[in-house]
Amino acid sequence: MKSLKFDNRFIAEMPGDPVIGPGVREVRAAAYSLVRPTPVSAPSLLAWSRETAGLLDLDASDLASPEFAQVFAGNALLPGMQPCAANYGGHQFGHWARQLGDGRAISLGELINRAGQRWELQLKGAGPTPYSRTADGRAVLRSSIREFLCSEAMHHLGVPTTRALSLVGTGDRVVRDMFYDGHPQAEAGAIVCRVAPSFLRFGNFELPASRGELALLRQLADFTIDRDFPEIGGDGEARYAQWFAQVCERTAVMVAHWMRVGFVHGVMNTDNMSILGLTIDYGPYGWIDDYDPDWTPNTTDMQGRRYRFGWQPKIAYWNLNRLAGALSPLFGNPQPLQEGLQRYREAYAGAEQDNIARKLGFAECLDQDIALMEDLQSLLQAGEMDMTIFFRALARIDGDEPSPQPFADAFYDETKRVAVAPLLSAWLQRYRQRLQSDPLDSVARVKRMNAANPRFVLRNYLAQQAIDRAEQGDASGIAELLEVMRRPYEEQPGREAYAARRPEWARDRAGCSMLSCSS
């Protein structure tokens, strides 16, 4: 492999744990612990993203070199790498969970590419760290495939996200009790290399604040602004205020994208909220098939459904309130934090209106369009209609004489189709009238809609099919699916099968509609 340039500012500038190596412990007054990945027995490269490799100035010959799989399995380090696990806490399912930290993620270093961009490389599943608590520090193949594919699919959909460089099989088995019901099984292990400008989370700030480690909190805030928000000027409180408002705004934009494409994160704990407003930690996430705002893929969350699709905007806001609480010692009075939270509400409302205008194909969102969209959503839910297929089909209707015909493929239940048919026709009449008063011509409208309503999303069952094949030893389904997900807004003739609604066999199947945190 070619030599790469690393500049590990987090380690150089932030205080670390004086104890080196693994061994579960409480780590106080330190932002990270130095710990090396634990080698695996037989690394094999199963999949990679050429776009993410490109960000790192890596090309096909680097990917093909035997060293690549060794490095990205954690068996070897490149010059300049300094592996560490970050220390953070978090609110999990609404409750403060104290110190969590990178229990199985190990950052390798901050790479500086030829364009001068900084990219942190992180292995997920690279072995125990001081933060592994009772767990093993490893990841299973099925979850690693899901993280690898979804990171890249989200990027191509235009959603802010951490990226994935590689998926390496370890050759080792990992024991997991998938549904925590007393049926542990040995599964294939794997490691994903994730890539982002920073993996800092709300929880990195919450932990020192919770312990009264105010010097560390301030140092981390200063560091983050300096390294990751260089556009922010000013000093003192005004600088922190601008930064917090930025975090609020980015979080709003990210969640609005999730709502646009039908993505359900599944575990929006504050330790899974990126300070950069990136989608991070792909675990029991899922994609909306039939439109249901109450759906969550996460079986661990079935009781309260806290992280259901329709609650994501308000949960993000709740999480930002926890971050505001953690940052409050940096402020003399809470006013700027209140203003930041207000920025979230405004930015989210603006982004939601933008979604409405783009998804429905209007030049802009008028007040009346909010009700038009809400009524449509009720209709989609009552009719058990596929969200992705419906919006894509909506661009194909005849604006002068809309018929429900283009939506035939969107229904999962014939009885419901018949039941909502009159409601759908009535809604289409309202929509037709609205289109007539809109300045966009039909060509511009279709273009606008097809750029906001994907034809292809990483449906849960599609990922599961790639997983089933990979678990039988054939990893080629991963690359095939990634290839489709590279151009989610294009028609891609010949690939209709990847746009099909969820088949019946997948309705209640593990991995398709039911996932747990066990990964």
Active-site residues, by number, are 271
**Residue 267 binding target from Mg ion, ligand AMP, none, CB below 5 to 8 Å by type:** ligand AMP
**Which one, 86 or 457, has the nearer CB to Mg ion?**
86
For residue 172, count CB atoms less than 10 angstroms from its CB and return exposed for 0-12, middle for 13-18, buried for 19 or more: middle
Continuous segment of H or E residues that includes residue 54:
helix 50-55
Which residues lie below 8 Å from residue 346, measured CB to CB, with a gap of 6+? none
**Which one, 43 or 125, has the nearer CB to ligand AMP?**
125
Alpha-carbon gap, residue 365 to 371, rounded angstroms: 11
**Residue 289 binding target from ligand AMP, Mg ion, none, CB below 5 to 8 Å by type:** none
**Which one, 300 or 513, has the nearer CB to ligand AMP?**
300
Out of 49, 70, 75, 132, the only residue in the binding site for ligand AMP (CB under 6 A) is: 132
Q: Which residue number has the CB closest to Mg ion?
A: 281
Q: What is the dihedral angle through the alpha carbons of 312, 318, 320, 322, rounded to the nearest 10 degrees?
A: -140
3-state secondary structure (DSSP) of residue 5: strand
Residues of span 424-463 touching Mg ion by CB under 5 A: none
Q: Determine, following the binding rule CB under 6 A, whether residue 175 of this chain makes contact with ligand AMP.
A: no
Alpha-carbon gap, residue 334 to 324, rounded angstroms: 9
Residues of span 74-103 touching ligand AMP by CB under 6 A: 100-103
Alpha-carbon gap, residue 129 to 132, rounded angstroms: 5
Q: What is the residue-wise DSSP string for 179-227?
A: TSSS--EEEEEEEEEEEES---BHHHHHHHHHTT-HHHHHHHHHHHHHH
Instruction: Please provide residue 420's backbone torsions phi and psi, each rounded to the nearest 5 degrees.
Output: -95, 0
For residue 385, count CB atoms less than 10 angstroms from its CB and return exposed for 0-12, middle for 13-18, buried for 19 or more: buried
**Residue 135 binding target from ligand AMP, Mg ion, none, CB below 5 to 8 Å by type:** ligand AMP
Out of 110, 152, 213, 281, the only residue in the binding site for Mg ion (CB under 5 A) is: 281
201 is in an annotated binding site: yes
Out of 283, 310, 313, 511, the only residue in the binding site for ligand AMP (CB under 6 A) is: 283
Closest distance of CB 103 from Mg ion, Å: 8
**Residue 514 binding target from Mg ion, ligand AMP, none, CB below 5 to 8 Å by type:** none
Helix H, strand E, coil C: the string for 404-467 is CHHHHHHECCHHHHHHHHHHHHHHHHHHHHHHHCCCCCHHHHHHHHHCCCCCCCCCHHHHHHHH
**Residue 102 binding target from Mg ion, ligand AMP, none, CB below 5 to 8 Å by type:** ligand AMP
172 is in an annotated binding site: no
Q: And the tokens for 17? A: 């744990």
Q: Which residue number has the CB closest to ligand AMP?
A: 103
**Which one, 17 or 102, has the nearer CB to ligand AMP?**
102
Residues of span 213-272 touching Mg ion by CB under 5 A: 272
Q: Determine, following the binding rule CB under 6 A, whether residue 281 of this chain makes contact with ligand AMP.
A: yes
CA distances for 472 relative to 187, 275, 308, angstroms: 12, 38, 32
**Which one, 130 or 402, has the nearer CB to ligand AMP?**
130
137 is in an annotated binding site: yes
> Which of the ranges 267-275, 339-347, 386-394, 449-457 carries the binding residues for ligand AMP, by CB under 6 A?
267-275
Q: Determine, following the binding rule CB under 6 A, whether residue 453 of this chain makes contact with ligand AMP.
A: no
Residue in this structure with the two tokens 């993280």, named with its chain if needed: 147
3-state secondary structure (DSSP) of residue 50: helix
Which residues lie below 8 Å from residue 120, measured CB to CB, with a gap of 6+? 10, 107, 109, 110, 111, 195, 196, 197, 198, 199
104 is in an annotated binding site: yes
**Residue 137 binding target from ligand AMP, Mg ion, none, CB below 5 to 8 Å by type:** ligand AMP
Closest distance of CB 281 from ligand AMP, Å: 5
Q: Determine, following the binding rule CB under 6 A, whether residue 136 of this chain makes contact with ligand AMP.
A: yes
Q: Determine, following the binding rule CB under 6 A, whether residue 274 of this chain makes contact with ligand AMP.
A: no
Residue in this structure with the two tokens 């690394």, named with its chain if needed: 43
Q: What is the residue-wise DSSP string for 147-175?
A: HHHHHHHHHHHT--B-EEEEEEEEEEEEE
Q: Which residue ranges are tagged as binding site?
A: 101, 103-104, 124, 136-137, 194, 201, 272, 281
Q: Which residue ranges are tagged as binding site for ATP?
A: 101, 103-104, 124, 136-137, 194, 201, 281
Question: Interface residues with ligand AMP (CB under 6 A)?
Answer: 100-104, 131-132, 135-138, 267, 271-272, 281, 283, 517
Q: Which residue ranges are tagged as binding site for Mg(2+)?
A: 272, 281
